[in-house]
Amino acid sequence: MKKYALILAAGKGTRMRTELPKCAYPILKKPMISYIIENIERSTIDEICVIVGHKKEVLKEILGDRVIYAEQTEQLGTGHAVLSAAPQLEDKKGVTFILPGDMPLMEYPLMDKLLRAHQEMGNDLTVVTMDMEYPKGYGRIVRNEYGSVIGIVEENDCNEFQKQIKEVNSSVYIVDNQLLFEYVRKIEKNDRKGEYYLTDIVKLMHQDHKVNTFMVRNPMITMGINDLYGISTAEKYLRDFINKGHMLNGVSIVNPETVTIGHNVIIEEGVWIYPNTTIMGNSLIKKGATVGPNSEIVDSIIHEKAEIRHSIVLESEVGENTTVGPFAHLRGHAVIGKNNRVGNFVEIKKSTTGEGTKAAHLIYIGDSTVGKNVNFGCGSVTVNYDGVKKHQTVIGDDVFVGCNVNLIAPIKIEDNVFIAAGSTVTHDVPKGAMAIARNKQINKEDYAKHFIKAKDDHK
């Protein structure tokens, strides 16, 4: 039996008060709809259809060709949204898993569990429900005297008795695909709001088909996000859930409430993570590494026993036994070799370094290929930009770069070179040479007194 996912993502999300469509808003720096798609891709569902509308181009840019699309041209409610997908799904046999695009916390094991329950109970329609102590704002599940589900009543349409019902609709449904579109066409427009409610499918189907419910124990999992406070609630839940998983897998996290780890991050056992640290994107932290405190890692690889302290690493790679920081900045696909030292206020951009290289403090290395056992003195710079375009610096092995050296790219420094402090080097340096590129010092004897006198006269 084929399984389809239908994601309702056409709404504006006006309560978010942002320019982004709601389903594109980031949670832990990743669009909320991406969480849904990634979990569906790991589930037993065969095909994904996303209903788009408001700023559809934003969602299409995020999802690309991973899904098929249906477009809701008018905002006429959830029933109308589902009907928009009829050209894509109506002729296909199987079951459709319907869920809102603002429900990022549902993991794929629960999706598969719901699909199995639907099939094993022989349901034609399964409504996923929650038990809420304070159900205000949710549609109530209405049952007859035999306990059978006969309808869902929205909050504003509830009578006083129905408002006391604590079993509520999560807006997640599993339904026979061909029955879905047959009954969606029978939904009538709600007089009060002028919309077609998908919830009305329950009262239409229960008389002739098996309608049942599946209650989710943790309401957070099926929480829909409607505003920026909801974003913060989802982030806190995800942060706790993700950190707990890593700690159970052997990662030591100090003050985990201050540590934020993204959904796709992989961390091996034996890693230490210290407070106020953020690790996001498709990052990999290998065994025995130390990250933090006060560090940010995005889309980067940190190898075994490397140490990142008070630093930022963006789209870069840090080699085994290398120390970075405090207050270093690696970016633009910097690849730092083994046993390196990247120290205070060092920035490395779009460069590679070989094993044993040291850049201890106040250094910029950009658009460079650096060999092994190179030592950069304090204040040295690879001058890569001429005002129009960037140029390459190539440095061989066992090179000493003195303090306050400027290497004007394009330039090549071969192996075993010594560059004297204060030099501005504009030409290639051959193997084994010493380069001195600075003006000759002139000492004017007994001259400083003139500056002292001028200073006193100024007072």
Could you confirm whether 209 is annotated as catalytic?
no
Say what angle helices 32-42 and 56-63 make with each other, to 10 degrees.
Answer: 40
Catalytic residue among 209, 310, 333, 361: 361
Report the relative pairing of strands 47-52 and 30-31 from DSSP bridges. Answer: unpaired
> What's the Cα-to-Cα distance from 198 to each of 4, 173, 422, rounded to whole Å?
17, 10, 74
Say what angle helices 32-42 and 108-120 make with each other, to 10 degrees.
Answer: 50
Closest residue by Cα to residue 380 from 296, 437, 321: 437
> Residues near 110 by Cβ (< 8 Å), separated by ≥ 6?
216, 221
Structure token digits, residue 429: 């340096």
Measure CA 121 to chain center.
37
Alpha-carbon gap, residue 66 to 59, rounded angstroms? 11
Alpha-carbon gap, residue 197 to 85, rounded angstroms? 15
Structure token digits, residue 356: 């044993």
Which are the catalytic amino acids? 361
